[in-house]
Amino acid sequence: MSLFIGLTIAGLATGAIYAIAASGLVVTYTTSGVFNFAHGSLGMLMTFLYWQLRVADHWAGPLALGAVLLVAAPIVGAGLQLSLVRWIDINDTGIMLVMTLALLVLGMGVAYAIWPADTARALSPFFGPAAFVTFLGQRITYEQLLCIGLAIAVAIGLRLFLFNTRLGITMRAVVDDRPLVALNGWRAAKLNALSWAIGISLGALAAILQATLFDDLSVLNLTFLVINSFAAAMLGRLRNLPLTFVGALVLGLAASYVTGYVHTQSGPLAELETVLPTLFLVIVLLALPSVRLRVGAPPARRSPRIASARVSALQSTLVIVAAVVALPFLHGTNLGAVNQGLALAILGLAVVLLSGYGGQLNLAMYTFLGLGAWLFMKLSPGGGLGGLVLVTLIGAVAGTLFALPALRLRGLELALSTLALSELVWYVLFNQGNVMENTITIHRLRLPFISLQGARANLVFLAVVFALLAFGVAAIRRSSFGRLLAATKDSPAGCATIGLNLNLTKIGITALSTALATFAGALYGSTQQQVTANDFYFYLGLFIVLIVYVWGVHSPMAALFGGLSLAIFPVIAPHLPAWASQLTYLAVGFGALGMVINPNGTLDAVSSRVRAAWENRQIRRPTAAPLREEARLLGIPADS
pLDDT tens for residues 563-585? 999 999 999 988 888 777 788 88
Q: What percent of the chain has a predicted confidence (pLDDT) above 90?
A: 26
pLDDT at 416 over 70: yes
Residue 149: count of CB within 10 angstroms of its CB: 12
Give me the sign of the Cα torsion angle 338, 603, 586, 421: negative
Q: Lowest-confidence range among 12-26, 516-530, 560-574, 599-613?
A: 599-613
pLDDT tens for residues 598-617? 888 888 888 878 777 776 76
Query: Given this model, what pLDDT does residue 297 score?
Result: 45
Q: What is the residue type of 82?
A: L
Distance CA(64)–CA(71), nearest Å, equals 10
pLDDT tens for residues 122-167? 888 887 666 777 766 677 788 888 888 999 999 888 888 888 888 8
Q: Taking all residues of the chain, what is their mean pLDDT, rounded to a whole number?
A: 82
pLDDT at 317 over 70: yes
- The residue ranges of every structural domain in the chain are 2-287, 343-537, 603-634
Secondary structure class of 454 (helix, strand, coil) = coil
Q: What is the residue type of 19?
A: A
Query: Given this model, what pLDDT does residue 295 score?
Result: 41
Q: Kindly give, in sequence order, each residue whose CB lies less than 8 Å from that of residue 626, ignoring residues fewer than 6 positions away.
A: none
pLDDT at 538 over 70: yes
Q: Does domain 2-287 have CATH number 1.10.3470?
A: yes
Instruction: Name which of 566, 599, 493, 559 is nearest 94 in CA terms.
Output: 599
Q: Mean pLDDT over residues 256-273, rounded?
A: 66
Q: Mean pLDDT over residues 475-492, rounded?
A: 82
Burial of 366 (0-12, 13-18, 19+ CB in 10 A): buried
Q: Mean pLDDT over residues 409-413, rounded?
A: 77
Q: Lowest-confidence range among 237-241, 338-342, 621-625?
A: 621-625
Model confidence, pTM: 0.86
Distance CA(309)–CA(238), nearest Å, equals 45
State in Å, rounded, how far the first CA of the chain is from the last one. 109
